A and B are shown apart, each in its own frame.
Chain A
Amino acid sequence: MAESYVKPGNQERGWNDPPQFSYGLQAQAGGSRRTPLTRRAAPPPAGAPPGAPPGPPGAPADPAAPPPRALGPPPQGSAGAAPRAEGRPSAACPEQEECSVSADTVLAPLRAALDACRAAVQKQVCNDIGRRLTVLEDAWAQGKLSAPVRKRMSLLVQELQQQHWDAADEIHRSLMVDHVNEVSQWMVGVKRLIAETRDLPGETDGSAAAEPATEPATEPEQEEP
């Protein structure tokens, strides 16, 4: 669900700044920690004339001739796959897509979840979350949020409604990492909302009546922490 993209680094502030990978790409690479390129070429056998190239397949056809002044074109052909040293697929390009999610489809469930929390959670915390949801609403209305942010927020809300707490949390993390300058003011409120909603007592202790209809009355699939 998180995006997979690579952006160039900030060459103005740091020389040779490496490219920036999205959260999605970094998370998926987290599993394998092996450096893929670890082989070394065998040294020339002792006694071979040093300095001679170890017979590379691409030795110039006529070493005695001077290099051609006129540069010929590269070999033609559309080779199928890229000749990678390790056969792994390339990263996807960033997608520029439209997002037509309305603010309300995201904010209404969030406010509903907040209302569900008011009974169990401190007033101050709820007010704080509410304040941040307002900041989110304003930013959305003023068009300050980019399409990926809006898209992923709608996904986050869907996960929240289905009680997939870990998935919602993961989306919040990916947004914090990839778009911190857009979301930092209000995302912590959403994060807290997910955590508090997750911790709500639930139907077992008879407070089911206090929960609004938008919360499905099924057993949460994830374990409560």
Chain B
Amino acid sequence: MATYLEFIQQNEERDGVRFSWNVWPSSRLEATRMVVPLACLLTPLKERLDLPPVQYEPVLCSRPTCKAVLNPLCQVDYRAKLWACNFCFQRNQFPPAYAGISEVNQPAELMPQFSTIEYIVQRGPQTPLIFLYVVDTCLEEEDLQALKESLQMSLSLLPPDALVGLITFGRMVQVHELSCEGISKSYVFRGTKDLSAKQIQDMLGLSRPAVPMQPGRPLQTPEQPVISSRFLQPVHKIDMNLTDLLGELQRDPWPVPQGKRPLRSTGVALSIAVGLLEGTFPNTGARIMLFTGGPPTQGPGMVVGDELKTPIRSWHDIEKDNARFMKKATKHYETLANRSAANGHCIDIYACALDQTGLLEMKCCANLTGGHMVMGDSFNTSLFKQTFQRVFSKGYNGEFRMAFGANLDVKTSRELKIAGAIGPCISLNAKGPCVSENELGIGGTSQWKICSLDPSTTLAIYFEVVNQHNAPIPQGGRGAVQFVTQYQHSSTQKRIRVTTIARNWADAQTQLQHIEAAFDQEAAAVLMARLGVYRAESEEGPDVLRWLDRQLIRLCQKFGQYNKDDPNSFRLSESFSLYPQFIFHLRRSPFLQVFNNSPDESSYYRHHFARQDLTQSLIMIQPILYAYSFHGPPEPVLLDSSSILPDRILLMDTFFQIVIYLGETIAQWQKAGYQDMPEYENFKHLLQAPLDDAQEILQTRFPMPRYIHTEHGGSQARFLLSKVNPSQTHNNLYAWGQESGAPILTDDVSLQVFMDHLKKLAVSSAS
């Protein structure tokens, strides 16, 4: 049984794939009875330190409806130089370059250890990356100064060949013409009137295209003019002028009367940015980076009026249908997001304000294009500054981690179809034999586009088994899936990452124990969670919870061992044992509970949940808790109120927050100053240990988490108390006769009560 954990781990490390089931039920009927759909989490650009890319084009199957890439699962006839596609069984001739291959001289793509392989292809011109800054000037002086400095700093972090542009907005929208000559010019637009793409392009004088590019010829000869436009110039040419221009930016000059919000035309500013890039550089990697310090208050896309006495919509308002601007604004940003994604451009949102900024309405801009969403309190905070720096972070080999314009194509063997994907992508509407009619997530396609991604971006892909019940198990007994991701590397090279995996089929009637043993509860929890959060966007909260509960009960009924109507007899095998706990914490998480969060905060949390890899997603669902004490080395402890003890320091990681909590005794010792006395040096070390561990996480995570240092009785302790399982509350304080841990003042159901109810429902013959 334990070997499946290793198998799962190895596969994830090599291929960046985790399946909910690793032995597949061989018929459609049995697959639906499994409750958890057959699905996987795929990290297309998983960081592989040991995978050098190969410098040639992939070999494709010649059948036009297939075009699968040559992979280790293909049968090869080395003498006749033929290979058989494992997806469509077409026999293909190897290209002439493969004349020398043999059993002892295999090309890399046929070797089993290269189930994941990356190709560098020299196709088409290499266009530079583009960064278009869209900057809100309705900020406080201190914030604007900090933002300006961050933008100036970023010019040193950009790739030198990249093109950069600047649009500023407040009541009006200004598109700055970047030139190396003295006088800086800009085009000013009213912030109240939306313009079509064509109007924007005409008004900016973009009707004739920028320096035309000749397809097929790489732009490396010095005689070729550098691609640019008046509004987007290479960093290495324009950095000094742009630094000055940024330094001279002033706050929006329009005075803001008492009791009013500044007039902020975010909707038109973004519209112009999208139109500008559409007209000058379609179909190349670009980031539109929106920096905003408050909600849009005028023009299309406005989220709230300018009267401060009318607050911005809350969840309560939305439930009561009292959010007057929401539908129209959301539609405006959705249109922009779709246009931008169609052009391969991503939209980042960096929103720093104490009140909401309209992330709920603008979230599609980041979610559909793969752009970032960063939420902070002020541009003059370490959280914003360092998170922004990390956008330009480089990997182990000194190359930027960001990648652009990914096109993910999924192929399956005949017994499987693709139901859909959930993640930061849009559908490319690619119909074909692999596409299922039943949709889960973004369905109706076998191809998706991710305009911006990095080595941690992870998609959830859902499949459907289509084999008829009682049909024989397919030849060879294994099903296969191939993931082909074409993308633009940060060096502007075009690359193709191909991952091909296979898993055994099994007859669920006779071999259920094998299917059970190969269940990946962690992947299943995240995959179900993504489905739940996807539903929560369009359904009522309680309905989603009911659906989640129903699935959990059905799973327990199917895979639990029990005697009917005897809850105490209920047992789950090891491969399912943690799953109910994950679902319990998921139900309480901010992804499904909007209470105590603003609509913007909920959108922010959900945005990050829908794109992180499995480990980080699990941390978000069920935070990690480590305990530090004198009684032994640091160790993980249960996320439970009983873990909160006076002589311990706890470190909790929820992904969005790092919480360090000093137990009561520790806090008293610290107050007494023992850490400053030389004979109590080990106490000083104890206090320092969680700080050092927290630092590891703080140094690398994107976005940077909040950092909460609190103690027993502190108001910030609520972050810890609200996350732990409240096994002890004011209701059951004396129930067990042993005082341990801290009671949580809540009426929330504890895991124990949850499990009791679950067992009762699972074993009941009435369900």
B-contacting residues of A (Cβ < 8 Å)? 6-7, 9-10, 13-21, 25-26, 29-33, 35-41, 43-44, 46, 49-54, 56-60, 63, 67, 71, 73-79, 81-86, 88, 90-91, 124-125, 128-129, 132, 172-173, 176-177, 180-181, 184-185, 187-189, 191-192, 195, 225
Q: Could you say which of B631, B639, B643, B735 contacts A53, with CB atoms under 8 Å apart?
A: B643
Q: Which residues of B contact A177 (CB under 8 A)?
A: 153, 156-157, 389
Q: Could you say which of B142, B152, B685 contacts A83, with CB atoms under 8 Å apart?
A: B685
Given contacts A33-B456, A78-B681, A85-B693, are A9 and B383 in contact (CB under 8 A)? yes
Q: Could you say which of B381, B658, B700 contacts A14, with CB atoms under 8 Å apart?
A: B381
Q: Which residues of B contact A44 (CB under 8 A)?
A: 638
Given contacts A37-B624, A51-B752, are A18 and B393 in contact (CB under 8 A)? no
Q: Could you say which of B380, B657, B665, B755 contacts A13, with CB atoms under 8 Å apart?
A: B380
The 5 A-B residue pairs whose C-beta atoms are closest, nearest first, are: A14-B381, A58-B631, A50-B752, A9-B382, A78-B681
Nearest-neighbour CB distance to chain A for B308, whole angstroms, equals 21
How far apart sit A90 and B625, CA to CA, in the bound complex (Å)? 21
A86→B740 contact, CB < 8 A: no
How far apart sit A71 and B683, CA to CA, in the bound complex (Å)? 15
Q: Which residues of A contact B736 (CB under 8 A)?
A: 49, 51-52
Against A, the Cβ 8 Å flags (1 = close, 0 = not) of B666-696 are 0011001010001111110110110011011
Q: Which residues of B contact A53 (CB under 8 A)?
A: 642-643, 645, 740-741
Q: Could you say which of A41, A46, A82 contacts B637, with CB atoms under 8 Å apart?
A: A41
How many residues on B have C-beta within 8 angstroms of the other chain's C-beta atoms? 114
The residue among A177, A184, A195 with the most chain B CB atoms within 10 A of its own CB is: A184
Complex A-B: 21 CB contacts under 8 Å? A10-B380, A16-B707, A17-B382, A18-B382, A21-B386, A21-B698, A36-B693, A37-B653, A37-B696, A41-B625, A41-B635, A50-B755, A51-B736, A74-B630, A76-B679, A83-B685, A85-B689, A187-B156, A188-B243, A192-B239, A195-B236
Against A, the Cβ 8 Å flags (1 = close, 0 = not) of B618-650 are 010010111111111111111100110111100
Residue B578 CB within 8 A of the other chain: yes
Q: Which residues of B contact A60 (CB under 8 A)?
A: 740
A63→B636 contact, CB < 8 A: no
A17→B381 contact, CB < 8 A: yes
Q: Could you say which of B383, B386, B638, B679 contacts A78, with CB atoms under 8 Å apart?
A: B679
Nearest-neighbour CB distance to chain A for B756, whole angstroms, equals 9
B615→A21 contact, CB < 8 A: no
B155→A71 contact, CB < 8 A: no
A33→B455 contact, CB < 8 A: yes
Total contacts A to B, CB within 8 angstroms?
269
Nearest-neighbour CB distance to chain B for A76, whole angstroms, equals 5
Residue B396 CB within 8 A of the other chain: yes
B696→A36 contact, CB < 8 A: yes
How far apart sit A25 and B700, CA to CA, in the bound complex (Å)? 10
Q: Which residues of A contact B668 (CB under 8 A)?
A: 71
Given contacts A37-B626, A58-B629, A78-B681, are A9 and B707 in contact (CB under 8 A)? yes
B378→A71 contact, CB < 8 A: no
Q: Which residues of B contact A38 (CB under 8 A)?
A: 615, 619, 624
Q: Could you say which of A7, A91, A173, A189 contacts B240, with CB atoms under 8 Å apart?
A: A189
Q: Which residues of A contact B728 (CB under 8 A)?
A: 51
Q: Which residues of B contact A36 (CB under 8 A)?
A: 693, 696-697
Which residue of chain B has the shortest Cβ distance to A46 in the bound complex?
B571
Q: Could you say which of A37, A46, A172 contacts B693, with CB atoms under 8 Å apart?
A: A37
Given contacts A37-B697, A83-B634, are A20 and B385 in contact (CB under 8 A)? yes
How far apart sit A184 and B155, CA to CA, in the bound complex (Å)? 11
A29→B682 contact, CB < 8 A: no
Q: Which residues of B contact A7 (CB under 8 A)?
A: 382
Residue B510 CB within 8 A of the other chain: no
Q: Which residues of A contact B679 (CB under 8 A)?
A: 76-78
Nearest-neighbour CB distance to chain A for B145, whole angstroms, equals 8
Residue B432 CB within 8 A of the other chain: no
Nearest-neighbour CB distance to chain A for B186, whole angstroms, equals 20
How far apart sit A176 and B151, CA to CA, in the bound complex (Å)? 11
B665→A71 contact, CB < 8 A: yes
How far apart sit A187 and B645, CA to CA, in the bound complex (Å)? 52
Given contacts A173-B157, A181-B149, A188-B243, are A67 and B646 in contact (CB under 8 A)? yes
Residue B748 CB within 8 A of the other chain: no
Residue B207 CB within 8 A of the other chain: no
Nearest-neighbour CB distance to chain A for B239, whole angstroms, equals 5
Nearest-neighbour CB distance to chain A for B377, whole angstroms, equals 4
Given contacts A52-B738, A73-B674, A76-B680, are A26 and B386 in contact (CB under 8 A)? yes
- Give 4 new A-B contacts, CB below 8 A, not counting A53-B740, A79-B682, A184-B153: A9-B381, A79-B685, A84-B693, A188-B243
How far apart sit A88 and B700, CA to CA, in the bound complex (Å)? 15
Q: Which residues of B contact A192 (CB under 8 A)?
A: 236, 239-240
The residue among B157, B631, B646, B685 with the most chain A CB atoms within 10 A of its own CB is: B685
Residue B589 CB within 8 A of the other chain: no
B638→A180 contact, CB < 8 A: no
Nearest-neighbour CB distance to chain B for A20, whole angstroms, equals 4
A14→B156 contact, CB < 8 A: no
B160→A86 contact, CB < 8 A: no
